[in-house]
């Protein structure tokens, strides 16, 4: 081997060692960087004229376990969905209030019953009648609050869908551009690992919204396909369509056409839990807006209906006609069973018993329809109202089991249904969290191992020193030859 070829070999070795040191340093520096894939320098022997001519740098390889990443992304979507649903149900459960908590639904019902019993024992006491009125108003106000919160949660879900769809579209456009840049860089023989890191982070972000799989395409590009089979990106990014509304009322539904669904490239798709975009936070938001919140409203309306119908029955209050409103009203009107939707948000106290609206408090004792005050010592109606509140009746609407319940029992069933669903999603969230943590740990095992990288750095240092010694030896030989 000639001196010149030996020098070339040593110089190529120094170049490869320098490049390897840069890669090892980058791996160590980015060990905790989100989306970073470990780099590896690929080299091969360079042969010229049948003889070795140093080291050829083939490029760098970005090392990731795509199978684990895909599984982790699906788990991320499941965790996001469980969290979204669990937070919604927890909020409704909190507004309803737990039994025994001051101001809860059951506490207000118990307070109304207690005030009726107290007033029945002293029907001549105006303060006790006032207490009945305050208790009844507290109950209607609380039902109004729960109903308003349910509709508020639907509006928040609708706004969240709009934000997620915008983010999804923007991210798909960004990933499409990254694909194009990676393709161009590959065609020019330039490094693309950094662009791939950015793309992985962008895909991770949208994986929480919609569960998806990353499918490799030619020259470093990728396609994105949801677990339901929708193509989000394959060459060109799909466009997800959605139109938000400003306000949502109980009568507004997707089926009625008053709320927007989803489209992909202007083609309508199913947006519920069985749709092709189901499984992530986007589908969970649709489930809240179009299913869970609607069911909660229906059951709350059933509780409100049970209360209203108990007290507008002429058999309970003989002063009422067949179409007269009782103590609890539908916006101060007789309740029409065909207009139950949203009743909990409209339920009010009859103005005929409310002095602040021109009514007379004594009508609580003498009857809603009474024209004049009766015997102040007659507490029979108040006793009857208390009995009516606590007697067991079978609810005629809602998704209850159909067993006879008092109003307190029915309200308890309503809370139990919300709490049971919330506990189910909490359990799902705990499972999904454990799964995500396990997959992240598995993903990190294939990532940057700083101990391994430090070992590689020692080998690089030895290689660099060896090639430097060869050059030093060749320098000595050249000096010797020149002195001869």
Give the other-Cβ count within 10 Å of 474's Cβ: 15
> Looking at per-residue confidence, does 484 or 314 come out higher?
314
Q: SS3 letters for 356-399?
A: HHCCCCCHHHHCCCCCCCCCCCCCHHHHHHHHHHHCCECCCCCC
Q: What's residue 476's pLDDT?
A: 78
Within a domain: residue 366?
Answer: yes
For residue 336, give the DSSP letter: P
Q: How confident is the model at residue 53 (pLDDT cuts 50, 70, 90)?
A: low
26 and 76 assigned to the same domain: no
Q: Kindly compute the dihedral angle of the four CA atoms of residues 182, 187, 190, 193, in this order, to the nearest 10 degrees.
A: 30
262 and 168 assigned to the same domain: yes
Q: SS3 letters for 253-307?
A: CCCCCCCCCEEECCEEECCCCCCCCCCCHHHHHHHHHHHHHHHHHHHHHHHHHHH
134 and 8 assigned to the same domain: no
Within a domain: residue 398?
Answer: yes
The boundaries of the domain holding residue 453 are 3-64+446-483
Closest by alpha carbon to 115, among 101, 129, 125? Answer: 129
Q: Which pairing describes strands 222-226 and 236-237: parallel, antiparallel, or unpaired?
A: unpaired
455 and 392 assigned to the same domain: no
CA distance 60 to 38: 10
Within a domain: residue 272?
Answer: yes
Q: How far apart are the first and last CA of the chain?
A: 21
Within a domain: residue 441?
Answer: no
Within a domain: residue 362?
Answer: yes
Q: How confident is the model at residue 48 (pLDDT cuts 50, 70, 90)?
A: low
Q: What is the per-residue pLDDT across 124-140, written as a single tens digit (0 to 9) for each?
A: 999 999 999 999 999 99
Percentage of residues in the chain having pLDDT higher than 70: 98
Within a domain: residue 326?
Answer: yes
150 and 248 assigned to the same domain: yes
Q: How many domains would you assign to the chain?
A: 2
Residues 71-95 have a mean pLDDT of: 96
Closest by alpha carbon to 259, among 277, 247, 274? Answer: 247
- Could you identify the residue written with the tokens 């060990």? 31
Q: What is the per-residue pLDDT across 310-356, written as a single tens digit (0 to 9) for each?
A: 999 999 999 999 999 999 999 999 999 999 999 999 999 999 999 99
349 and 423 assigned to the same domain: yes
55 and 92 assigned to the same domain: no
CA distance 268 to 271: 9
Average pLDDT over the chain reads: 91
Q: What is the per-residue pLDDT across 118-128, written as a single tens digit (0 to 9) for each?
A: 999 999 999 99
- Could you identify the residue written with the tokens 């009782």? 326
- Going 469 to 471 to 475 to 480, the CA torsion angle's sign is positive
- Could you identify the residue written with the tokens 């960087």? 33
């Amino acid at each position: 081997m000639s001196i010149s070829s030996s020098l070339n070999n040593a110089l190529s070795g120094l170049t490869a060692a320098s490049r390897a040191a840069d890669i090892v340093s980058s791996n160590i520096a980015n060990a905790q960087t989100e989306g970073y894939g470990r780099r590896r320098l690929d080299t091969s022997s360079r042969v010229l004229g049948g003889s070795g001519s140093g080291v050829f740098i083939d490029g760098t390889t970005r090392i990731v376990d795509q199978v684990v990443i895909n599984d982790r992304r699906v788990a991320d979507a499941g965790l996001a969905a469980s969290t979204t649903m669990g937070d919604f149900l927890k909020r409704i459960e909190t507004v309803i209030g737990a039994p025994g908590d001051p101001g809860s639904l059951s506490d207000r019902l118990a307070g109304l019953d207690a005030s009726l019993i107290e007033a029945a024992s002293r029907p001549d006491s105006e303060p006790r009648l006032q207490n009945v009125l305050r208790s009844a108003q507290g109950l209607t106000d609380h039902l109004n609050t729960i109903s308003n919160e349910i509709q508020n949660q639907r509006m928040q879900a609708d706004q969240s869908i709009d934000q997620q769809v915008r983010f999804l579209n923007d991210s798909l456009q960004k990933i499409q551009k990254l694909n194009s840049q990676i393709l161009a860089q590959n065609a020019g023989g330039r490094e693309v690992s950094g662009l791939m890191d950015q793309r992985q982070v962008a895909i991770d972000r949208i994986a929480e919204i919609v569960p998806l799989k990353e499918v490799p395409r030619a020259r470093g590009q990728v396609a994105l396909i949801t677990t339901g089979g929708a193509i989000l990106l394959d060459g060109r990014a799909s466009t997800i369509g959605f139109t938000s509304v400003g306000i949502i009322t109980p009568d507004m539904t997707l089926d009625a056409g008053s709320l927007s669904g989803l489209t992909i490239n202007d083609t309508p798709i199913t947006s519920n839990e069985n749709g092709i975009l189901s499984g992530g936070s986007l589908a969970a938001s649709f489930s809240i807006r179009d299913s869970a919140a609607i069911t909660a409203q229906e059951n709350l309306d059933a509780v409100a209906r049970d209360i209203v119908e108990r007290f507008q029955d002429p058999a309970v209050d003989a002063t009422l006609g067949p179409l007269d409103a009782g103590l609890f009203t539908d916006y101060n009107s007789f309740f029409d069973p065909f207009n139950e939707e949203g009743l909990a948000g409209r339920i009010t106290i009859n103005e005929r018993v409310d002095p602040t609206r021109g009514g007379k408090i004594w009508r609580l004792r003498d009857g809603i329809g009474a024209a004049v005050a009766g015997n102040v010592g007659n507490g029979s109606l108040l006793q009857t109202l208390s009995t009516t509140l606590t007697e067991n009746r079978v609810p005629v609407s809602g998704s209850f089991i159909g067993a006879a319940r008092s109003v307190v029992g029915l309200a308890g069933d309503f809370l139990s249904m919300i709490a049971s669903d919330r506990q189910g999603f909490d359990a799902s969230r705990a499972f999904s969290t454990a799964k995500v943590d396990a997959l992240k740990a598995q993903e990190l095992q294939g990532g940057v191992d700083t101990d391994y990288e430090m070992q590689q750095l020692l080998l690089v240092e030895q290689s660099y020193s060896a090639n430097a010694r060869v050059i030093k030896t060749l320098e000595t030989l050249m000096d010797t030859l020149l002195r001869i």
